[in-house]
Amino acid sequence: MRLKKIGKYFHAEYKTAVGETRTTTTRATEKGEALRIAKEAGIPQLEHAAKAGRLTQQVIGQITTGKKLTLAKAIVEFAEYQRAIGRSSRTVENNRWVFTNWFAFDESIPSLPPSAITYKHINKFINRTDIDAGAVSRKVMLFALRCLFDFFAANGWSAGNPAAPVSVNYNLLTHEQKETKTILPFTESEYKRVAYHLDQHDKVRNRIFWQVGGHLAWETGLRISDVAQLEWDCFGIIGKIIVHTDKRNKRVAVPISAALNTLVTEIPVTSDTYLFPEQRAVMLDPQKRAKLSVQFIRICAAAGVKDKSYHNLRHGFATRMDKEGKTLEDIGELLGHSSTKTTRGYVH
């Protein structure tokens, strides 16, 4: 603690547990009187406790890792934790991308202990103005950091979650950055054009996967990651497909037509467990999984269907279910959504 005079009064300046400098007035004009007031208020003891807290965090880090715990090392622990609890490789990779960009933005961050990070460090990164990231992308980055510091707090590596009070500052964004990109559903005519293109061109790469996968997404709303990892056991009940989805391991059970069931039985068997072992391997590789999505976009373009991706098939499924009279709750259950708010965004 130190005293400094601001105007006619002395102020006590001290450090908090997270390393922030705080100043409070003693309302005393004499230094001796100001020191007495500060001591009676317990400010020196508060600062000592804060220092002890920071030391404790360092000790915990040393016990846990055998060395001084830095943010760079702690993030490795977080990634291992996510894999241990079954988070998808895509989630782990997306989080790694956020943290890598944070480190590149502020090169001092990786060497700091988790306990030294304040909301200011995070706010500065989330609300940076040197990138074109929109509001949705910034919220995704913020969510990753909140999850990270929840993990740190649970392990005693940080005092609370410094990302919790941070929010996206819309005043710093352009109109375009504030807008959410509209995803339009596949129409029936567009789907038929893509299906016809696949039927007519036997040289299309992964043709069988896209023929079956396209029909599956159109008829069941499954994601490309779920289709790529389908097991033969998913078709154990005639007229229905049961899948534990890749995202949050949600169980969905969706009726399927006889035509789709027949199409599945015609798939060449190359694995006792999986329908598409080759595509499954690609999907489980964070560095390669995007290739499948890019392939489908190119197939659509070749069929004359522009600006549509595999995920647009999922939107098309939800929209058709809505037109058939299904409630948002019913559609959400088929899609594996936890909230009707999410489902509403899929109905057009």
Residue 330's pLDDT is what?
95
CA 47 – CA 2 distance, rounded (Å): 11
Q: CA-CA distance, 236 to 223, in Å (whole number)?
A: 20
Encode burial over 94-120: b for 16+ CB neighbours within 10 A, e otherwise: ebbebbeebbeeeeebbebbbbbbebe
> CA nearest 289: which of 86, 84, 88?
88
- The answer to whether 122 and 169 have CB atoms below 8 angstroms apart is no
pLDDT tens across the length of the chain (348 residues):
788 888 888 888 877 655 667 788 888 899 988 888 888 877 777 677 666 655 555 555 454 444 578 999 999 999 999 989 888 777 888 899 999 999 999 999 999 999 899 999 999 999 999 999 999 999 999 999 999 999 998 888 888 899 999 999 999 999 989 987 788 999 999 999 999 999 999 899 999 999 999 999 999 999 999 999 999 999 999 899 999 988 767 899 999 999 999 999 999 999 999 999 999 999 988 778 889 999 999 999 999 999 999 999 999 999 999 999 999 999 999 999 989 999 999 999
Whole-model pTM: value is: 0.67
Instruction: Look up tokens 């939800």; give the residue.
Output: 318
- Residue corresponding to tokens 């199409």: 263
Strand order in the sheet with 9-15: 2-6, 9-15, 21-28
Characterise 27 by phi-psi region: left (phi > 0), alpha (psi -120 to 50), beta (else).
left
CA 172 – CA 195 distance, rounded (Å): 44
Report all structural domains of the chain as residue ranges with CATH numbers, in order of start: 2-65 (no CATH), 71-178 (1.10.150.130), 188-344 (1.10.443.10)
- Alpha-helical regions (H) of the chain: 31-40, 43-65, 71-84, 89-105, 119-126, 135-154, 175-178, 188-200, 207-220, 224-228, 258-265, 277-283, 290-302, 310-323, 328-335, 340-344
